């Protein structure tokens, strides 16, 4: 769990990003603000990642794309494939438009263009299956404000599986997609704040209080709460539910308690750089 936050900037939570490792291969899902720093903190070499999946193209899921691409390429990455909904190719077009002179400068310093001028972009659709080295990746459309996908990673050697919903409203059909998975990582944006805020860091006062009725109504059209995520986890019979995409100052105890009312498996409230293992061990 590289980044577990929301569009609201926070010191302790980066924008959404997830590193999925099976065998010797690591794929990246989403690339929100501060993804590269979180990769380094987790001792994952950005240059070694050659597969990048996007759930959708919102800022908190793609803002570190240019840093990831140029930084990884300049450190030796020679191949990169993007997977995502229609429109994902615009990231590559923007890279070429904005950073063409930067890339040319680095080329003059001796950097080869392999890995920066030949980025592949795979437009995926619901029902597609992408075969990586030892992992099959399945695609399912979810319910958000723009076209957004959930991904399921199945390790063909071990049978282990992880599902990441991306941003989504409560979507009952997700239980079929996530059926029998070891880990379900689910949107939990609709969560209550802590009763009090402490510490010397900058505080967004707006998020120290419960959401207004109107804002909650609007957000609930595009995001889920802990009980809804727990319902999906229970219906899918997964082992572990991981709750992520958290607004500032959320009450983690209340989140767990809400999910527990409907799901009796392991419940984890995600934090940045937390490792989730399919054996249900967390570090």
54 within a domain of the structure (yes/no): yes
Phi, psi of 163 (to 5 degrees): -120, 130
Q: How many C-alpha atoms does 75 have within 13 Å on its Cβ side?
A: 15
CATH of the domain at 123: 3.60.15.10
What is the separation, in whole angstroms, between the first and last Cα of the chain?
11
CA 22 to chain centroid, in Å, comes to: 17
Please state the pTM of the whole predicted model. 0.95
Q: What is the mean pLDDT of residues 72-85?
A: 97
pLDDT tens for residues 143-160? 999 999 999 999 999 999
Q: Count the domains in the chain.
A: 1
pLDDT of residue 282: 46
256 within a domain of the structure (yes/no): yes
11 within a domain of the structure (yes/no): no
Phi, psi of 264 (to 5 degrees): -105, 10
pLDDT of residue 280: 44
165 within a domain of the structure (yes/no): yes
Question: Over pLDDT 70: what percentage of the chain?
Answer: 97
39 within a domain of the structure (yes/no): yes
Q: What does the alpha-carbon distance between residue 151 and residue 23 come to, in Å, rounded to a whole number?
A: 18
176 within a domain of the structure (yes/no): yes
Domain assignment of residue 96, given as a range: 18-269
CA distances (Å), origin 264, targets 163, 191, 234, 235, 242: 18, 19, 8, 11, 13
Q: What is the mean pLDDT of residues 106-122?
A: 95
- Residue 28 contacts by C-beta under 8 Å, 6 or more apart in sequence? 17, 18, 19, 20, 35, 39, 49, 51, 52, 53, 68
6 within a domain of the structure (yes/no): no
Contact status, residue 186 vs residue 165, Cβ threshold 8 Å: yes
pLDDT tens for residues 174-210? 999 999 999 999 999 999 998 776 555 778 888 888 8
278 within a domain of the structure (yes/no): no
Q: What is the mean pLDDT of residues 47-57?
A: 98
pLDDT of residue 241: 98
């Amino acid at each position: 769990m590289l980044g577990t936050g929301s569009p609201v900037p926070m010191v302790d939570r980066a924008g959404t990003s997830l590193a999925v490792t099976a065998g010797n291969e690591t794929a990246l899902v989403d690339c929100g603000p501060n993804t590269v720093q979180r990769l380094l903190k987790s001792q994952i070499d950005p240059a070694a990642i050659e597969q990048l999946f996007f759930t959708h193209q919102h800022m908190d899921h793609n803002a570190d794309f240019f840093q990831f691409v140029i930084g990884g390429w300049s450190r030796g990455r020679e191949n990169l494939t993007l997977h995502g909904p229609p429109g994902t190719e615009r990231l590559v077009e923007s890279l070429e438009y904005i950073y063409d002179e930067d890339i040319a400068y680095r080329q003059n310093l001796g950097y080869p263009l392999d890995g920066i001028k030949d980025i592949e972009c795979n437009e995926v659709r619901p029902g597609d299956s992408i075969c990586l080295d030892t992992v099959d990746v399945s695609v399912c459309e979810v319910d958000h404000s723009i076209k957004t996908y959930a991904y399921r990673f199945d390790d063909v050697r071990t049978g282990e599986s992880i599902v990441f919903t991306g941003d989504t409203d409560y979507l009952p059909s997700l239980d079929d997609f996530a059926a029998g998975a070891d880990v379900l990582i689910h949107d939990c944006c609709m969560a209550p704040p802590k009763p009090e805020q402490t510490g010397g860091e900058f505080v967004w006062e707006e998020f120290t209080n419960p959401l207004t009725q109107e804002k909650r109504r609007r957000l609930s059209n595009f995001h889920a709460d802990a009980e809804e995520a727990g319902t999906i986890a229970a219906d899918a019979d997964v082992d572990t539910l991981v709750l992520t995409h958290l607004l500032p100052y959320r009450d983690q105890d209340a989140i767990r308690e809400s999910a527990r009312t409907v799901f009796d498996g392991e419940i984890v409230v995600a934090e940045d750089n937390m490792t989730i293992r399919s054996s249900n061990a967390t570090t």
